[in-house]
Amino acid sequence: MKHQALQTLRIEGVEIFEIEERLPREIELEIFVNGDFFAKATITPSQEREFVAGHLWYRGMIEDASQIKSLRIEGNRAWADIEPASEKVRWAETKSTSGKADWSVRADWILSNLLATLDSDLYGKTGGTHTSSLCRGESILASSEDVGRLNPLDKAFGWGILRGWDLRSCYAVTSGRITSHTVEKVSKFNVPLVASKGAVTTLAVEMAEKWGMTLVGFARQSRMNVYTRRDRVTLK
């Protein structure tokens, strides 16, 4: 269950009364790698396998889906047996290959996929979650929601990793603002484009220019702002 009902005291002007409110659930997920404790993450209890796969990739523990030998969820614990990436890969500075992607995507497809992503059932019930989708062309491949701003990206990218997708052919849409942390996260997965309904920060733009990523902000209704690698967004 991703949400839970709670009796809450509501104050409106001079009136005080009780209401039933739905709150997004949040759990601590402990991740064990090859039998040893690796990390603890706070997430919405959904798509746990996808989250763990994405998190392991982001942390440099794996660089290919074939390195995951088994992955199971038991309550609030995740157990992953992997063939670890080399120390060189694990501790290397981010060197994204997203800048090498030479495809383009229509602006109306980005807007349509973002609008569909924002139409989140959990957000509609609780008003307290973020959403992200992994997309290719005009299609949404996977959508995720979570109380954490960046967790949905881990989940959506993890979905692609578990299925052996080359994420350089995909792009991401998300509900949260695009900061330097967002760009770092997306670049680790070699995804060349990320779009949001929210704002983009200056450091995010600097990092995206360095790695050849396309940043799209304030994507709403029929408009958007394209900040870097503008050639990837076309009208038709």
pLDDT at 89 over 90: no
Residue 88 has pLDDT above 70, yes or no: no
Query: How is the chain split into domains, by residue range?
Result: 27-91, 98-234
109-155 residue pLDDT tens: 999 999 999 999 998 899 889 999 999 999 999 999 999 999 999 99
Mean predicted confidence (pLDDT) in 210-217 = 97
The strand ranges marked E within 117-207 are 130-136, 139-146, 171-174, 193-196
The amino acid that residue 190 corresponds to is N
State how far the alpha carbon of 135 is from the alpha carbons of 78, 80, 90, 139, 208, in Å: 27, 26, 27, 6, 19
CATH number of 27-91: 3.10.20.10
pTM of the predicted model, to two decimals?
Answer: 0.92
Do the bridges between strand 214-220 and strand 193-196 make them parallel or antiparallel, or are there none, so unpaired? parallel
State the pLDDT confidence band at 53, using cuts at 50, 70 and 90: very high
End-to-end CA distance of the chain: 41
Query: Whole-angstrom Cα distance, residue 167 to residue 195?
Result: 15
Residue position matching structure tokens 């997306």:
186
Q: Is the pLDDT of residue 231 over 90?
A: yes
Report pLDDT for 1: 84
Contact yes or no for 4/125 (Cβ under 8 A): no
Which residues sit opposite 146 in a β-bridge?
A: 130
**Are 156 and 148 within 8 A, CB to CB?**
no
Element at 73 (helix H, strand E)? strand 68-74
CA distance 77 to 21: 28
- Could you tell me which CATH number the domain at 98-234 has? 3.40.140.10
